[in-house]
Structure 1
């Protein structure tokens, strides 16, 4: 594979293709201006309009959400882990049956490994269009989204019905549930009662890492952010690392699984050696770009310009993408 062909494993921020009808709340006031991006993997979109940039299995999915100020994502849950870092803007994350159990505000660069088993939502509380980058455990991302009952009910009032097959049907487009397909059932009271309602105090220490704390910790060596030995100790099926200018190394290294590089600040030059059918080459990444590095390919990533530089790194571990909330 030539360096030019390797470019197909890079999704540039400016080339991201949004979907505005990805989920059941696409018509619900307050949530109807969301843009959803599926960058790597199949994602969890409920719409056939969702574009997938890179479909190569990685053991996890990479996506993004773009929202204007005051726009929110409705309360939902996944069967596997979900972690976000803020690329642009200021965001409030909230959780619980009605979104009132706890909340945290994240600034640019902060990362949140959201506990599974609880409904969560988020909104852009900044003054400009904001973007958060998402990591979902598993190649199939757990088979979809579980919505809080009121989200499904509100969506029906605005013309969107979710079938038990996980697909959306829009009455505003003349669509209806196909014969033999029932609506997605609401969670029962018994199921809802099993869901924990952790407070902000319970969640923050083990699930949130702040950008400037990580910048300080990465002064000499990269920081493992999410992982069995990470700042946020967990085994969600992937590990997330963080490095800055001081901890970047020109030493070549490889991974057993495809890995993903996601610059937060600054421009980064990624170099790779020849081998496994690949020619040697390099590429430069900017904030918002996402690069998939093939497994077993020797590579490095180093800042290519002066100034602030930071980068997130994601790689699968081969573990099941299991629950993060320990209770």
Structure 2
């Protein structure tokens, strides 16, 4: 593989293309300044304006959300896994029918495997622009977003209507629902009763891993973060590992699976037969199956990254036990 070919598989943080109209709350005060990024796969964006950096998916999607201070993402749910780690800033995640069932604050490097099937939202509670990176289960990321009814009603009051086809229509631009397409129906009370109000103690215990704990666990080998035998036991269709300076492979290796490298801290040198590339914080690299390569920090100082690989598990509900 030539360096030019590999560069098409690397999405640089500085090259990320945002979309400010990705979701139904794009005009709702308090949520109207957020930016959505689709890095690998189309994600769950509801806007035709969304730019997709790498269209082919490895069994899951990679995306990101960028928000200024006090900006929030409205309550929604997914049918497959949604995993976030904080790249920049300080974030509050909250969940439940009205967002009051519980909350947890994540610092830079922390990771949150949000339980499938609960309403969740998040906001930047830091003092600067923040960024969280996302992993969504499934090639089609579960077919879209399920919004809490009040989110759909608030959006309609501010000019955005979500069609039952999953597409957004902006009345401020003169757009209307096409003939034969109705608005997305609101969930009934019976349907809403099926969304759990997961206790905060359970969420913090089973679904959250802290950056400095992972640094300690990755002293001699990669720390298993998400997987059947990992710190956060789950089978969402992918596995997540955490690598630090001391846990890298001592020699060249190749995997029979897709390997997605998401740099958290430091610069990392990726070398293969045919070239080399340096990955910086916020960069995402899709290493193809079967490629023999080495991975090592490129300079002194703190170095860490998350590695995501696909598995044969169905991209279904979050599983623990």
Answering whether residue 117 of structure 2 is matched by residue 117 of structure 1, we say yes
1:18 aligns with 2:18: yes
**Could you say what secondary structure the match of 1:31 adopts?**
coil
2:164 is aligned to 164
| TM-score in terms of structure 2 length | 0.98
**Which residue number corresponds to residue 270 of structure 2?**
270
Offset at 1:322?
1.2
Q: 1:136 & 1:116 partners in 2: Cα distance?
A: 11
Deviation by residue 1:74-115 (Cα, 9 ceiling, x = unmatched)? 000111000000000000000000000010000000000000
Q: State the distance in 1 between where 2:240 and 2:276 align.
A: 23
Q: Secondary structure at the match of 2:43?
A: coil
Structure 1 residue 221 corresponds to structure 2 residue 221: yes
1:326–1:302 CA distance, 2 compared to 1 (3 A)? closer
Could you tell me which residue of structure 2 aligns to residue 107 of structure 1? 107
> Contact between 1:259 and 1:293, CA under 8 Å: does it hold in 2?
yes
Q: In 2, Cα distance between the equivalents of 1:125 and 1:259?
A: 32
Structure 2 CA distance, aligned partners of 1:86 and 1:70? 16
1:44 maps onto 2:44 in alignment? yes
Does residue 323 (structure 1) correspond to residue 317 (structure 2)? The answer is yes
Partner of 2:285: 291
Q: Secondary structure at the match of 1:246?
A: helix
Cα distance in structure 1, aligned partners of 2:88 and 2:56: 27
Instruction: Tell me what 1:277 maps to.
Output: none
C-alpha separation in 1, matches of 2:146 and 2:251? 43
CA displacement at 1:4 relative to structure 2: 1.6
Separation in 2, partners of 1:257, 1:40: 16
Q: Is contact 1:67–1:124 with CA below 8 Å preserved after alignment?
A: yes
- How far off is 1:224 after superposition? 0.7
* Cα shift at 1:255: 2.2
| Aligned-pair Cα RMSD in Å | 1.0
Q: Is the 8 A contact 1:90 1:126 kept in 2?
A: yes
- 1:189 is matched with 189
Distance in structure 1 (CA, Å) of the matches to 2:228 and 2:236:
9
- Note the residue ranges of structure 2 that are not aligned, 5 or more in a row: none
Q: CA contact under 8 A between 2:270 and 2:296: conserved in structure 1?
A: yes
Describe the superposition over 1:146-192 as per-residue Cα deviations: whole angstroms up to 9, x where unpaired: 00000000000000000000000000000000000000011110010
Shift of 1:269: 0.3
Q: Deviations over 1:12-59 (max 9, x none)?
A: 000000000000000000000000000001110000000000011210
1:146 aligns to what? 146
- In structure 2, what is the equivalent of residue 31 of structure 1? 31
**Aligned residue in 2 for 1:53:** 53
Distance 2:216 2:319 in 1: 27
Classify the secondary structure of the residue corresponding to 2:8.
helix
Partner residue in 1 for 2:296: 302
- State whether residues 111 and 210 of structure 2, in contact with CA within 8 Å, keep that contact through their aligned partners in structure 1: yes
| Cα distance in 2, alignment partners of residues 318 and 7 from structure 1 | 27
In the TM superposition, residue 267 of structure 1 has moved relative to its aligned partner by 0.2
Matched residues, number: 321
Deviations, residues 254-288 of structure 1 (Å, cap 9, x unaligned): 22222100110000001123xxxxxx211000000
Question: Counterparts of 1:116-135 in structure 2 under 5 Å?
Answer: 116-135=116-135
Give distance in 2, aligned partners of 1:158 and 1:244: 45
CA contact (8 A) 1:260 1:314 kept: yes
Tell me, in whole angstroms, the C-alpha distance in 1 between the residues paired with 2:272 and 2:122: 37
- Name which of structure 1's ranges 231-240 and 298-307 shifts more when overlaid on structure 2: 298-307
TM-score normalised to structure 1 length: 0.97
SS at match of 1:39: strand
Structure 1 spans left out of the alignment, 5+ residues: 274-279
Cα 1:43–1:315 change in 2 (3 A) is: same
Q: Measure the CA separation in 1 of the matches of 2:101 and 2:214.
A: 27
